[in-house]
Amino acid sequence: MTSSNEQPASGTPAGGMPGGLTPAGRPDSGLSFVPVVWLLFVMAWSVYWLVSARWLFESSGLPDRVFYFVLGGLAFDIVTIVWGLYLLGLALSRSARFPRHFTIWQITTIAWRLAEQVYALTVPDFTVSARELAIAATEIVIGLFCIYLLRRRDEAKAFYARPEAQAPSAFSSIVAALAGIILGAVVGTVAGFALGAGIAEATDISCFEGGCGYFAVFIGLAGLVVGAIGGGVLGVWLVHRRSRKVAIGGR
């Protein structure tokens, strides 16, 4: 006979999941969100570099090897933003495809960072500091840690495994992301300029040599960055939310 205090022989704990796994959608800790936070940080950093790259086209004395190197980095930043928005949509819908797609993106990003460092170290036109190497190494370590969290931890596999939350097509996500980025950038820029002008007037910032104008431009650029990221995230979230509603309603 089996006493009431003993577990059933099936290996399934009373009121639990087989093998003690975490039920889907309820991770044991917040570590499952670390890759998403890292993804948002990398996207924001890419937007920052794109916005601050105006000097590249105003400088006429750059060697060709430096110019095309920086231009290639900006192109990769654009890819990072668009690709990242698609990944963000997968993460928001807790799609089971997110861990694999994030791993592919992260490995690609690490390979690009390594290629950048090798190029900068081998081309005589560059001077690489220890600080830059440390930053690149930190990015690679964080990326590898995020891959470990998604590929090796049961709680992450359970968290991103809801069958009803499969994402829409990549084309739909990219279109929604681009539309959100453009609309968000326009709205953010206009709102930023208006806010900057209002603050400059309210605080009596001096307009000597264009001081108040530069302040308004700075706030406008900040609004562009925030609006572009927010618009892209909102666009992807809306298309994935609509897809989930259609999937649930069609059952």
For tokens 């001081």, what's the residue? 211
Handedness of CA 74, 75, 76, 78 (dihedral sign): positive
Q: What is the pTM of this model?
A: 0.62
Residue 219 CB burial class (10 angstroms; 0-12, 13-18, ≥19): buried
Distance CA 140, CA 107 (A): 9
Residue-by-residue pLDDT tens, the chain, 251 positions? 444 444 444 444 444 444 444 444 444 456 778 898 899 889 888 877 877 776 665 555 677 787 788 888 888 988 888 888 888 877 877 778 888 899 999 999 999 999 988 888 888 877 778 888 898 999 999 999 999 888 776 667 677 765 544 555 666 767 777 788 788 888 888 888 888 888 888 887 777 767 777 778 778 878 877 887 788 778 777 776 766 554 545 45
Q: Tokens standing for 29? A: 């800790």
Longest dimension (CA), the chain: 92
> What is the model's pLDDT at position 19?
41
> What is the model's pLDDT at position 103?
93
Q: Could you tell me if 173 and 85 are in contact, meaning their C-beta atoms sit under 8 angstroms apart? A: yes
Q: Indicate the SS3 state at residue 25.
A: coil
> What is the model's pLDDT at position 87?
86
Chain-centroid distance of CA 55 in Å reads 25
Distance CA 139, CA 133 (A): 10
Q: Could you tell me if 166 and 244 are in contact, meaning their C-beta atoms sit under 8 angstroms apart? A: no
